[in-house]
Structure 1
């Protein structure tokens, strides 16, 4: 009897404990439900409004995006600097080198973002043709890629709004300014991408790196007296298909950053433009150093074959002080290349100030900062790089 009573008492106690625990769990669950928002509410509270680079207000949900499409010249390049390329759900044909039918005018040029991500891009469906002749977004192709956000460099606000309404996903427009890689607008575009994709640290790191690089170059050259500076001419700037030895700029950004004396002055406007042949001839006697952007070689060569005397009035050509910089404008600006070019120009014009700089090592450093990979070998091996940065042999280069 005693054992039975003892067992009964124990069972009663256990039942009471179990019931008490269940009650507490129900209360805890209820409290938890009151304090924790639903998934929908959590999503709503994480939404924020950003202003894109052409002033449009767009509501985004930072860090939530799983399918990204980039459209327009330079958009995919800039996204590649900050975003995760594995999130891309489509790519323009011009950036998919596995396609046989696509714009191929830049295939021989070093576009580092394509080189670095060629395998990823080749696996993606088309979100449009892309390229210089594609002046409008292809909404149907974009829709077929099922993006949940679009990064664009089409700068017509009304068209961007219309595209956003048609796609029913945020369309974020990026933009840079006249100073290119050194422009505040480029920094703002990087930071905007960092905010949207929760890569703020990466964006800040890149902006800080570029800023320090610029400061280093400028500081090394800031104390050079004007009368001690050689006069320098840069040509081959502008559009890939039209540039030649007459295409130049009196406000060339790399010259400004490196305190280089530009022999071209007195033009009515800034920016890349073609000067008259007479102007080119008149500059010749004062030009100590000449830089040719690799983009122009394909156009200059037939001109030189037709008239081998075309550079005879150029002092730099006659004295063999002609140098090749890498093409930095191919489906818009290669920003890392523009930075490397600035180092190369500064080192060439002021060698004593940059004895510690090896341009191949600097190329690897810069591409790693931008794209996470050392890429000097790949860049210099592209056909339109002609082996990389070099002093041109004026007796044979264009023959």
Structure 2
């Protein structure tokens, strides 16, 4: 190109014809423009940051479609987070337990039921719903085969869990990104994080000698003579966050909720017992069944320090769940373990704030 231009310039010097000079000049301009175009018309490659990818809580890198208008959600807590972020109308299919949640609008709980990770997911039904993304738990039941089956059909799957309160926050952030509701998710996470930090600022100053030994458990499998003891899970870690010692964790650090017998609990002999359940009536019945057992020999029982705590999404008074409500449940646990240190915390007011600012859809 440079040689051609040089030749053109020499021609302009040697040829005295004005018309020729004009013609050569125009040709030179065209060629110069062509040189510029060779630099400016190269295709622009998308930068890595502009690609809509994320890492879910299973550690998988997932590419999210640019437009997400239809989602299937297999668990109630992820559906609840989606609703608090203003995306209830995007839910087109739900898992079995989503239908029973009292923290979701009826038009969501009435969506097409696609099954559960325990009994099995109806893949054909999900395909018929034509979702842009499926949001699900992982690590139990038929989760692995469900995720594999959906991805083999080119259906995007985001896998989530919550082993700690920080996982709750990460799940909200991820769902916000999936639903293109990043700003709403960021505002909610900031609020919850501030409340969590306030709790930790108190519990972090409690010396180990002043921390009670706590069992947080569930009696749903007592019919088998066993008890779920929450250990390395968000339910179990809440005890530590609130300033207690989780008696199950030292023995089962790698399990979320091991089944143990009553003899094991007698050996632990905790100072405080918190029994979780989805309904007050079932909790009352379960505790009545324990009256005729060695349960009554436990220190916590004899000192009147056996407490109940609603979890899940079957009762509007329940806050102990993998949702924004968990911050209220965490403060409930803190007030049980250290009523004096957390006496200034109004968990009821905190719950009211969340309901008013993020759960307004329940009033529509």
2:110 is the counterpart of 1:116? no
Structure 1, residues 192-233: CA drift from partner, whole Å, max 9, x if none?
A: 322232211111112222221221111122222322333332
Q: In the alignment, is the contact (CA less than 8 A) between 1:69 and 1:89 conserved in 2?
A: yes
Q: Give the counterpart of 2:329 among 341, 345, 368.
A: 341
- Three-state SS of the structure 2 residue aligned to 1:173 is strand
Change (3 A) 1:353 1:302: closer
Q: Distance in 1 between matches of 2:65 and 2:249?
A: 48
Equivalent in the alignment of 1:35: none
Q: In the alignment, is the contact (CA less than 8 A) between 1:289 and 1:316 conserved in 2?
A: yes
Q: In the alignment, is the contact (CA less than 8 A) between 1:69 and 1:90 conserved in 2?
A: yes
Change (3 A) 1:171 1:61: closer
2:95 is the counterpart of 1:92? yes
Q: In the alignment, is the contact (CA less than 8 A) between 2:192 and 2:324 conserved in 1?
A: no
Structure 1, residues 121-170: CA drift from partner, whole Å, max 9, x if none?
A: 2443x251236322xx322212332333333335667753542453x5x4
Q: Give the counterpart of 1:82 among 61, 68, 85.
A: 85
Q: How does 1:1-399 map to 2 (within 5 A)?
A: 48-53=51-56, 54-62=58-66, 64-71=67-74, 74-96=77-99, 107=100, 114-124=101-111, 126-130=112-116, 132-134=118-120, 137-154=121-138, 160=147, 162-166=149-153, 168=154, 170-179=155-164, 181-183=165-167, 186-236=168-218, 246-251=227-232, 252-264=236-248, 266-270=250-254, 271-284=256-269, 287-295=270-278, 298=282, 301=285, 304-305=288-289, 308-328=292-312, 333-368=321-356, 371-372=359-360
- Structure with the bigger RCO (C-alpha within 8 Å, sep 6+) is 1
Change (3 A) 1:146 1:306: closer
Q: Distance in 2 between matches of 1:60 and 1:247?
A: 37
- Three-state SS of the structure 2 residue aligned to 1:65 is coil
Q: In the alignment, is the contact (CA less than 8 A) between 1:127 and 1:142 conserved in 2?
A: no
Structure 1, residues 81-117: CA drift from partner, whole Å, max 9, x if none?
A: 4351112223334433xxxxxxxxxx5xxxxxx3232
Q: In the alignment, is the contact (CA less than 8 A) between 1:56 and 1:157 conserved in 2?
A: no
Q: In the alignment, is the contact (CA less than 8 A) between 1:82 and 1:199 conserved in 2?
A: yes
Q: In the alignment, is the contact (CA less than 8 A) between 2:231 and 2:237 conserved in 1?
A: no
Structure 1, residues 9-51: CA drift from partner, whole Å, max 9, x if none?
A: xxxxxxxxxxxxxxxxxxxxxxxxxxxxxxxxxxxxx983413
Return 5+ residue gaps in structure 1 as ranges: 1-45, 97-106, 108-113, 376-399
Q: In the alignment, is the contact (CA less than 8 A) between 1:293 and 1:327 conserved in 2?
A: yes
TM score, norm. by length of structure 1: 0.63
Q: In the alignment, is the contact (CA less than 8 A) between 1:232 and 1:290 conserved in 2?
A: yes
- Three-state SS of the structure 2 residue aligned to 1:90 is strand
Q: Whose strand proportion is higher, 1 or 2?
A: 2
Question: Once the 2 structures are TM-superposed, how far is the Cα of residue 343 of structure 1 from its aligned partner?
Answer: 0.4
Q: Distance in 1 between matches of 2:222 and 2:105?
A: 24
TM score, norm. by length of structure 2: 0.68
Which sits farther off after the overlay, 265-274 or 84-93? 265-274
Aligned residues: 301
- Three-state SS of the structure 2 residue aligned to 1:174 is strand
Change (3 A) 1:57 1:311: closer
Return 5+ residue gaps in structure 2 as ranges: 1-48, 315-319
